[in-house]
Amino acid sequence: MLYGVSYYPEQKDKDELQRDLTLIKESGINTVRMGEFAWSRLEPEEGRFVPDWLDEVVETLGQAGIRTIICTPTACPPAWLVTGCPEIRYQDNRGVVRPFGGRRHYCYNNDRYREACARIARRLGEHYGKNPYVAGFQIDNEPAQEGTGRCTCPVCRKKFSLWLEKKYGTIETFNQRSGSVFWSQEYQSFDQITPPVNTIEPGAQNLINAFYENPLVRLDFERFSSDSQIAFQNIQTAVLREYTDHPVTTNATGLATNSIDYYKSTKALDCYAFDYYPGLRNARVDSFPYAFARGVKEGAPFWVLEFMSGGGHRLSGSGRLQPNPGALKQAVVQAFAHGAQALLHFQYRTFPYGAEQLNYAIVDMDGIPRRRYREMKETAALLQKLEPLEQAAFPSQAGILLDYDTHWALRIKPVNDPCFTYLDYANKRYHSLERIGINADVLSFHAAWETYKVLLLPAAFLLDTDTINRLRAYVNKGGILIATFLTGVKNEDNAGYTQPLPAGLTDVFGVRVEEVEPVFEENHTTYTITLPGKQDGGEEQPENEDEVLTVKDGLWSELLSGTGKPLGVYREDYKQGSMVLSENQYGAGKAYYVGTDMPEETWQHFLRAVCDPVCPSYRQIAVPDGVECVVRFLQGRRIYFLFNFAGANRKITGCRGYRNYITQMPAADEEEMGKNGYLILEEEKHG
């Protein structure tokens, strides 16, 4: 595993640099990441490339066994470039042009800026592409971060029109598919279609309140902007590939913070990489981003290029809590357990100046190593012991399907906002599976998911015909499909289906949606659930009282009719007797439709009943609340990675027959984990 820090030698004087490099070499880490904000030093004036200051650091660290990830510095165009080419500046949805003085003040579609970026990427590729001390290349930095992913400048307006024309062919086709006759919004030419005033970018502001624009224009602008970011990135990717065999990637932020379709953006990259800043003080580190990362680029590992390091100040001026002792090490091992091939802390040393001054780091501004540095040093040594486990496989037989079009559509026209958000809901269902011992993969609608035993389809609001047909075939051939409310409401044009919902799948689920409404605090309604009977020789077991649960609905309510077996039925109000949860045999498989939300404990009961017959938990040990368990297989043996996020000691029972991987001692039947502790158990070899 590549383990280390981000470092900024361009900001250091000679004495500070030497002190830092000495401590970095003594820490035991094996990787640093440098250069992403150093354009003004690498190219102080147009065409003059000055890498000697960086060469010295790469060489010094490399000789000590520490390799460098070289970043292209294109997130921060220097003053000479912005002054000489003011047309490259970014224009937001309000028409505000960003001046020089921050970062990401560039238009990713501007050809002159793309040429300048290709030039600096080429010089870096030529210079470092074959360097044995280089571990890889990062393109730009956090593309589209801080509301810079939806440029509306004249260049982008023109390219958006051309993008639409290429997609639809004729303006008549666009008018028909977008339903632009509504509110007399029909166009005579693609040049008349401008970027939307409204935006779903985090942190961005809408200029005109209550300005309702065509849903397809808005969705297509999200798609166009995502495609534009990918094209900008891939120019540098292609340039670097001419000079290096080292891995090339870029660093994403969150699953959808920047509204770039990461499933598409990583196709030309060697791996998916992202930045992650979880709280490490009495907090559970969410593993959903790791499950997502494993599925972004099928078959490739993932990197975490910026990771939490400490507490104190932060960029926005508010603060972060310091990690508990041991929490940093625990979090790194957790990332390793979930398949991370690289993890680099941001950053090595706190900045004394600039917009990120006083920010969190491994070492404070004074350069004196303290407990975070010592813990990083311990973690680096620990990772060397864990290296043999890198090849352990994930035995995932369940998948959760995600889609960027659906995410964008549900932000453009939200449902029960802010109580319900698409990605948050998918996250919760992932953890429902995790808590019953099923490690699920998170996959694109367009991935190869046909071999999974169970698929969970949370709120698939927008479904195209191809995905509908694949889902039908999946169930027909024996798959288990679990879909929730808000499935198949819209088509790929962000237009509502004019057939019964879930569109194209009513026979698969054996239901039709008859009526819908959001669920607020004042209109919860009681319903009963009969858990699916366990299969034994092809016959369902008789129901008993323990299999019937009475709960209240949540978030959304859909009244269902049809031939599906009613597992959930409303018991009060005008909804009394209406089906809300169904089971249906379709071909060789089964399809379940959940027309409302369930309490977490009920979700776990339901998922266990559905999943156990086809993909039972691989756990053979008892995992208490507050403890995460990741199961992997190495040469046929189970490996358990256990992480205590409970905030207090926890006991793990049923450990006999396993060995503590770190101590190589046989585990007792009951093992105790301390606060922020971790435990790695491997199945003992037999014979």
Whether the bond into 418 is cis, omega within 30 of 0? yes
Kindly report the CA angle at 610 between 609 and 611, in degrees rounded to 5?
Answer: 100
Q: Distance between CA atoms of 150 and 221, rounded to whole angstroms?
A: 8
* DSSP helix/strand/coil, 453: coil
* DSSP helix/strand/coil, 461: coil
- Strands (E) located in 173-218: none
Whether the bond into 502 is cis, omega within 30 of 0? yes
Q: Distance between CA atoms of 568 and 528, rounded to whole angstroms?
A: 5
Active site residue 522: no
H or E segment and range at residue 258: none
Q: Tell me the torsion sign for CA atoms 96, 72, 114, 157.
A: negative
Residue with tokens 């776990």: 604
Mention every residue, 6+ apart, whose C-beta is less than 8 A from residue 320: 277, 279, 308, 310, 311, 312, 314, 360
Q: Distance between CA atoms of 183 and 526, rounded to whole angstroms?
A: 41
Residue pair 595/560 in contact (Cβ under 8 Å)? The answer is yes
Q: Distance between CA atoms of 500 and 561, rounded to whole angstroms?
A: 11
Q: Distance between CA atoms of 479 and 473, rounded to whole angstroms?
A: 9
Residue pair 362/373 in contact (Cβ under 8 Å)? The answer is yes
- Strands (E) located in 229-297: 248-249, 251-253, 272-276
213: buried, middle or exposed (CB in 10 Å: 19+, 13-18, 0-12)? middle
The token pair that represents 435 in the structure block: 């808590």
- What are the DSSP calls for 84-144, one per residue? H-GGGS-B-TTSPBPPSSSS--S-TT-HHHHHHHHHHHHHHHHHHTT-TTEEEEE-SSSTT
Active site residue 306: yes
* DSSP helix/strand/coil, 349: strand
Annotated active-site residue in 36, 306, 356, 375:
306
Annotated active-site residue in 10, 43, 142, 201:
142
Q: Distance between CA atoms of 588 and 585, rounded to whole angstroms?
A: 7
Mention every residue, 6+ apart, whose C-beta is less than 8 A from residue 155: 87, 107, 109, 110, 111
Q: Distance between CA atoms of 603 and 595, rounded to whole angstroms?
A: 13
Ramachandran category for residue 621: left, alpha or beta (phi over 0 → left; psi -120 to 50 → alpha): beta
Q: Which residues are catalytic?
A: 142, 306
